[in-house]
Structures are given as C-alpha cells and as structure tokens.
A and B are shown apart, each in its own frame.
Chain A
Amino acid sequence: MAEAALRTAPLDKARALQWLQKYGVYAGVALLLVVNIAITPHFLSAENFRTQAVQVAPVIIVALGMALVIGTEGVDLSVGAVMALAASVTALYLGYGLVPALLVVAVFAAAVGLANGALVALVGVQPIVATLALMVGGRGVALVLLPQLQDLRNPQLASLGSGDVLGIPYLILIAAGLALLVAFVVRRTTFGRQLLAIGDSRPAAQLAGLPVRRVLILVYVICALLAAVAGVLATARLQASDPTSLGNLMELSAITAVVVGGTPLTGGRVNIAGTVAGAVLIQLLTATLIKHDLPPSWTQIAQAVVIVAAVYAARGRGKR
C-alpha cells in the first residue's frame, strides 16, 4: 500500500499540484471575482452578474454532456453542429408551436447522438474521428434546412430566452437544474457508475459484463440532447435562428471548461462542479479582458494559458 501512496517526489510539489487540480478552478474563479470587484467599474451589479450568467449558461449545458463523453475517454466535436441544427429545426417547425418544434429538435439531436454512439461503440471508430464527421455533416444539414439567418417572432420562445423567475433568468435556472441532474446521474445511477468504469478500463468493464455499447451510445445521445438544449436557448435569446455561426467553436469551449474543471481526458472521472466552474472561469476571464478594452486575441491567449495550467496540474494523475 505504501509503495503506491505517492509516485512523485518531492512531496510538497506533488501536494501543491494535487491541490491545484482539485481546487485550482474554484480559486481561479474567486481570484477573478476579487480582481474585477477591485478594478472593474460597475462589475459588482446584479445586471452585470445576470449578463455574465446568461452568456455562460449555454456553454455550461454543452460542457455537461461533454464531461460525460470525456468520462468515457471519448470526445464529442459535433456539439456546435448540433446547436446549429437545433436552431434550424426550431425555425422550421416553430409554426406548429414551441413544444412540437422542441420535440422535432430532440429527434434530430438524438439521431446525431445515435450516429456518433454507433460509430464509436459498434463500428469502433475513434471518437474524435466519428464526431468530426458529424461536426462537418451536422452543420451542413443545418444549412441545407435553413440557409441563412432568420428572425423568429414567437412570444413563447422569446420568453424562454429572456424571461425570469424572481429575477433569475430561465436560462440560468435550466443550466443549474441540468447540472444538478447530470451530477446526480453520475453519482447515484447504475449508468453513471458504468460510464466511469468503462472510461477507466474498457477491457475490465467488458469482462465484468457491463453493457458497454449501450452505455456508450447513450452517453453520446445525452451529449447531443444537451447540446440541442443549449442551441434552442441560445436561439431563444437571440430571437433569431443563425445556423451559420451559432455554436461555432463551442466544442472547444466545452472541452476547455471540462478540462479546466479537473476532469481528466483519460476517462474514468467526471467532475461536474468543476466543469461548471471551468465554464464560469473562462467566461469571467473573457469578460475581464473585454471590459478593459483588450483585443479579443488576448482572450484566446489567456484561455490558452488557463488550459496549459489545467493540463499541467492534471499531469500527475492523467498518466497511468
């Protein structure tokens, strides 16, 4: 037992890294909050917090699904395309009412998830390749369905995007609710445990008789459904369907949030609280730089630094 206790020497450095990996993302969020309260004018206002939260909500929702996929040692590059698809389909079917439109969106999203899952679990294609195909193809389909931006005039959809309960926007409530739900699924359900076991050691999971294929397919379906929810909410907020640019680079934001939040890319562990904090961290970082009139390119550089820091902290645990 003792031999396996710690591999890295010296001890202090290993401990510091471990701490950084566990709590670094929360410390980062706290630090950015403190710095902004100190130096950014009008930062400490309900209005600003609401804006930030509404902006980050779709990223959080996509990142939740991404965290599950990454937990199985996979990745899903098609989430942005699914958002665009959701936007197109919403625009096309909104005439039948919001609920029917959402159902059709769900069918489309589930189809993409099934395709991803089948390619990964049944055909044995590497996740990055399988979902790359759907990433390209999915946006193509979205643009075929709706070739350009279209304004949407639907009061129900508008209220979904900008309504609130006791001053808390629906978007935030939905993101928070989904985060709790996904965290519950990971911790307390058979599916959650099986997902982690498959991510940690696929051969062992297989020999233990776990329904490996079913779980993998379901994970990709859930990820696509969550991306579709994000797509609908973003569309509702814009009050316009924009399949050309909606969800562009969303896969990278989501992966960043997951990794920065302490979920290793090697699978077997999913940190939902960390993922939410990771998304918030990136959001605050971007907001900080923008508010201080730094060019957008700086945001990307800052994101890169955060990613490198997260990967560095995860180094000790990631390798096996």
Chain B
Amino acid sequence: MAPPAEVLAVRGLSKSFPGVRALDDVDLTLHPGEVHALIGENGAGKSTLIKLLTGVYRPDAGDIVFQGDKVSFATPLEAQKAGISTIYQEVNLIPLLSVARNLFLGREPRNRFGLLDSARMNREAEQALGAYGVRVDVRRPLRALGVGAQQMVALARAVASEARIVIMDEPTSSLEPREVETLFSVIRRLRDEGIAVVYVSHRLDELYAVCDTVTVLRDGRRVHHGRLADLDRLSLVSTMLGRELGEVRREGLTKFTGGHHATDSRPVLEARGLTVPHTLHEVSVSIRPGEVVGLGGLLGSGRTETAKAVSGALPTSSGSITVAGIPLRGGSTPAAIRAGISLLPEDRKSEGIVPGLSVRENISLAVLPRLSRFGLVSEARVDSIVDTFVERLRIKASSPRQKVGELSGGNQQKVLLARWLAMNPKVLLLDEPTRGIDVGAKAEVQKLVDELAADGLGVLLISSDLEELIEGSDRVVVLKDGAVVGELTGDEVTEDKLMRTIAGHSPDGDAVEEAATDG
C-alpha cells in the first residue's frame, strides 16, 4: 500500500536574525494522521520553525508545500484559515468573554438576521467541549475556568476550525495528569481523523506516549528524523544535547545524585500549622540544612500556596515560622527575605523576571540595597556579583545588558536563581524550577540544587515532574486539599509510594480513613 500523500512538505527552510542563524536548511514532512514530535533544546529552532509554518515569520530560503501547493502565509490568521492551527504554551484566548464566545471567536453562528445566535452557539460549545471531557457552564467567562480547562478550550477551538495540521507547543505545561490523559485521547482521535499533529514538549514520557515520528533540531539544524520507536530515551536525549551516549547513561536522566545531604542538626526552617483560609490547613514542614525536601501532591493541593505562605507572599491566619531557630515576624516578603528565605516562583514570566530590565539589573534586583551606600549603587560591586553568577550558573546572554525577556526559559530561570543566591539565603523554595526549560538547562538547574544543598542550604522542591521530585528529594511531604497527608522518608521515596499517598493510602498501604470518608 502506498503511503498517503503528505499533507506538509518543508524543504530547505532557513531563517536568520541579526547575528544568529536560527534555522538552517531544515526539512520536515508530515503525513495525514501522523503525530510528529518536534524536539530540541531552547534555541534549537523549534519556535522559529513553528513561526515560519504559521506565518509569523517569512523564511529567508526554502519552500513550504501544504496539501500539494506551495504556500507563503502572511499572517497566522491566513495559516489558520488554510488549515494549520497552533496551540501555544500560554493560552491565548480572551479571559473576559464567555467560554462559548471564545470557542467560536471569529466564526460565530448567526441567525437569519445576521445577529449572534447565542442559543445555538452555547449548545454547540457544550457538545464540542463535552467531547474533550470538559463539562462547564459555557456561558461563564473563560477566566473562571482552571488553566487546564482553558487549554482544552484552546484545543477544541483549534480543532473545530477544520485544521489539517495542529501544532501544539508544550500543551501540557499547565495540565494536571488527568487532563494530560484527555489531551492524549484527543490527539489519538485527531490521528484517526487523518489530522497531522506536531507535538512540542520537553517531557519524554509524553513524547513516547503519543508520537509516531520525531524530528530533532539542534542549533538550527535537523540532526535526526525518523520513527520515534526506533530511538530509545537515552539516544533521544544524547541526540538532542549532542553528547555521547555513554556520558548521558552514566549521569542518568536527571542530574540529581540522589544522595542524602542532610547533616544531623536542627532545622533551618520550621513552619508549623500554617493556615490560610480555604487554602491551607495546618501545614507543617521542616527542613534541615543541606536537605532537599520535596512537596508532593496534585495541582491545587496547596504546594505553591505553602511555598508562598512560607515566603510571606501569602498572608496566613495562623501558624509560625522559624528560620535557624529565630521566629519570623511580620509575615511580609521583605521580612522573610531578610531572614534568609528565598522563593523561586512558579510563574517565572509574570512573577519572577522583570522582562524589560537587563540580566544585570535582574540579578542585582534583590541584593541592590546591600550593594549601595546612601542609596547610590556601586556599579563595580554590581558588576562583580553579576559576573560571578553569570559564570557560575553559565547564563547565556549576549551581554549582561541584554533584556531578560529575550532570553530562553532556562536562562531566565538561572537569572532568577542568581538573584536569590546573591542574597546568600538559608532556605531556597523552588516552585517548579525546571518547568518549561530545555533538557540541558534542566540538568544544570538540578545539578545546582544538589550543589546548593551540599553547601548547607535548606531546599524545598516543588515539581510536577515525578522523576525530578523523587530523585531530587531526600524527603517528600505529601499534600492533598491543602493539608499534609503523609511524609515519605528514606527508602519510601519512590514514585509508587508517592502515588499511593496522593491517592489516599498511607505509605504502608493502609487506607487513610479521612480521605476515604470525605471523598
């Protein structure tokens, strides 16, 4: 049987920006019903390729042949109308419009007077979303939905517009495991309907779960393509990184050494009975110097809120926090920072970096008062701190004066780490430190966490990446619905035990009665 005609054939695509060759002679072929993994480190050219396919950029050289015709889209809208839909990492819908309006934006059903047919629109929206396992009141504003549900609306919208190709750029970065499953079933349905899917993700599990074929980009070039099943995980990682297989194998998939760092001494951080109305209930966590304590639990279990409460960013109604034996008063961020608590927030883009300021100003932001005398900044001292951390954390920027908003996610994260390390903290709260950053930077961040713990810092690690949480933590405190439901220590720190605890079973297998009764 002859293979079905290709829906997309890209030949020799190249694109340069001042000083950088972002994409160099790249080919890509997609057949109907093919789920194609597009992978590479940040800066490898994935985004550039996607933007060329969807009309955001125009190529310098090369052809894009879509359904047999050579195309040149002037705008993303043109590409979308032709049948190439894109779902971005961040939901790009309109928060204040209703769910149904968002779903039908630009192609609203009209009644015979040419007016909006709301009844029909709401009815069809409910049906469409139901197919994705999303059951919500479609008349409510989109922002009332969780991020995962919003992502599903974006997906439903992309697919409903009769796409031939759906490009998904890290669609799962804000989804819960259950929602990821729904997404996968949708992808499989798209495949059965003969729609080609380009799937971009840093999560290897996901790639192997849904993708048939793979293209690996590195430094703007295609370094591998073929069936995904023919490439095992380690080979995939080594191809992406351009490192020897043996090297990757020796070092494992995460960079954590997994050793127990904690020195037997009094806790550097002791949070007791933290309560935030409707959010946290009597949460207690203690961290010893040199220890990495993981916070386990599902999305919405109170992990982020615990970190924020400890760092003073979320006011608590009761509870106490001591740092190295000294009670923390005030409950404000500046007070917590003075006491030595640093928080790397989950939402790097909106709560972490100051995008319009330079690398230099971002790194020195928190420590600035210490580098100043009478409010005057000592530029020399700033330079020396910035240089130190740019080198130590291997931050890749064209210069310290480059805007942080222009850096890759991994480098932005390193800049934030540098901002806190410059403060000489005692406790580091890391909320999803490796989310959405490329494999190389991820490994570096993980290695760094290990080093910092070895230096005697207390680290609180929050991660949706189970592998990372398990391998990185000495101990895991498990949260559910804003309360601590268990703690895993020593040999108990395994994925299996963690899942059972999250699911409502105590580590030794007995059902926790509370969880059973309030479910």
Contacts and interface: CB of A to CB of B under 8 A. Distances in A.
B211 interface: no
Interface residues of B, number: 48
Nearest to B50: A3
A209 B337 contact: yes
A268 B377 contact: no
A9 B377 CA distance: 39
A320 B355 contact: yes
A72 interface: no
B357 A268 contact: yes
Given A2-B45, A211-B334, A200 B419 contact: no
B43 A1 contact: yes
B365 A6 contact: no
A205 B337 CA distance: 13
A211 B343 CA distance: 16
A214 B434 CA distance: 33
Interface size range of chain A in the complex? 20 to 34
Contacts of A5: 17-18, 20, 22, 406
A4 B369 CA distance: 31
A201 B419 CA distance: 15
B136 to A, nearest CB: 27
A209 B345 CA distance: 13
Interface in A1-26: 1-6, 9-10
Contacts, number: 109
Interface in A187-208: 188-191, 193-194, 196-197, 200-201, 203-208
Given A2-B22, A190-B377, A268-B354, A207 B313 contact: yes
17 contacts: A2-B22, A3-B47, A5-B20, A9-B57, A189-B372, A190-B368, A190-B369, A193-B361, A194-B365, A203-B351, A204-B351, A206-B313, A207-B313, A207-B352, A209-B337, A210-B334, A268-B356
Interface in A203-252: 203-211
A190 B311 CA distance: 23
B405 interface: yes
B343 A207 contact: yes
Interface of A: 1-6, 9-10, 188-191, 193-194, 196-197, 200-201, 203-211, 268-269, 320
B56 to A, nearest CB: 8
Interface string B342-384: 0101000011111111000100111011001001110100000
Nearest to B403: A4
B353 A201 contact: yes
A1 B397 CA distance: 8
A189 B406 CA distance: 25
B58 interface: yes
A2 B356 contact: no
Chain B facing A: main interface SS: mixed
Given A190-B377, A193-B365, A2 B355 contact: no
Contacts of B343: 207
B402 to A, nearest CB: 9
B17 A2 contact: yes
A contact patch SS: helix
B406 A210 contact: no
Contacts of A207: 311, 313, 333, 343, 345, 351-352
Given A1-B43, A2-B48, A9-B58, A190 B375 contact: yes
B356 A269 contact: yes
A6 B366 CA distance: 29
Contacts of A193: 357, 361, 364-365, 368, 377
A1 B356 contact: no
A193 B366 CA distance: 10
B313 to A, nearest CB: 6
Nearest to B382: A193
A4 B56 CA distance: 12
Contacts of A206: 313, 333
Contacts of B51: 3
Nearest to B17: A5
A206 B352 CA distance: 10
Given A209-B333, A211-B334, A203 B368 contact: no
Interface string B451-479: 00000000000000000000000000000
Given A5-B406, A204-B352, A207-B343, A194 B58 contact: no
Contacts of A190: 368-369, 372, 375-377
Contacts of A10: 58
Contact of B354 (A189, A191, A201, A211): A201
Interface in B12-50: 17-18, 20, 22, 43, 45, 47-48
Report which residue of B18, B58, B333, B350 has the largest number of chain A beta carbons within 10 angstroms of its beta carbon: B333
B356 A4 contact: no
Interface string B168-204: 0000000000000000000000000000000000000
A10 B74 CA distance: 10
Contacts of B237: none
